[in-house]
Amino acid sequence: MKKVIVISTSLRHGSNSDLLAEQFVAGARAAGHDVEKISLVGKNIQFCRGCLACQQLGRCVIDDDVNEIMAKVVQADVVAWATPIYYYEMSGQMKTLIDRMNAMYEQDYRFRDVYLLCTAAEDEEHTPQRAIAGLTGWIDCYPQSRLAGTLFGGGVNSPGEIEGNTKLQAAYELGKNV
């Protein structure tokens, strides 16, 4: 059994990327894994100040929701990120969280497999490439980890528009096979 953390970064209720996250969660649970989904809806996540105090303290000096999220990520075996694609890139709130988790850099992290689930109104094959590259930049800082899989659901814009799309089953299968 693996400890799986799924971070849904969309702030829109019923978002398409959150629906992919839900299916990934369902698949991972069906496989018998211990799964927790963290939604950024309602979370207080401030911008990184670049003070680097986190590298001495092992946590961020800013008192918001990031330290709690980061503690869960460090202890996970698998981390899955779900994000809408905005202007051909991961959401700003995902990038802000990644920047703020700088304190993990010196810690003994457990995660080895990282996944990216993303959706966009655009449906071109290249649409998620910058989001993948951005996440890969984070993964590169954790050399025992790897990008284990990505899933892109394009051509969806309005909340819930992905309902009935084959990408939901693909997200379930991806979660089931972590």
Q: What is the mean pLDDT of residues 92-119?
A: 95
Q: What is the DSSP letter of 69?
A: H
Backbone angles phi, psi at 18, to 5 degrees: -70, -35
Give the pLDDT score at 15: 97
Residue 144 is part of which domain span?
A: 3-176
Angle between helices 16-30 and 166-176 (to 10 degrees): 40
Query: Residue 138's domain is classified under what CATH number?
Result: 3.40.50.360
Which residues in 128-153 are b (16+ Cβ under 10 Å) and which e? beebeebbeebbeebeebeebbbbbb
**pLDDT exceeds 90 at position 173:** yes
pLDDT one-digit tens code per residue, 29-54 = 999 999 999 999 999 999 999 999 99
Distance (Å, rounded) from C-alpha 60 to C-alpha 123?
A: 37
Number of domains forming the structure of the chain: 1
Distance (Å, rounded) from C-alpha 106 to C-alpha 61?
A: 16
pLDDT one-digit tens code per residue, 118-147 = 999 999 999 999 999 999 999 999 999 999
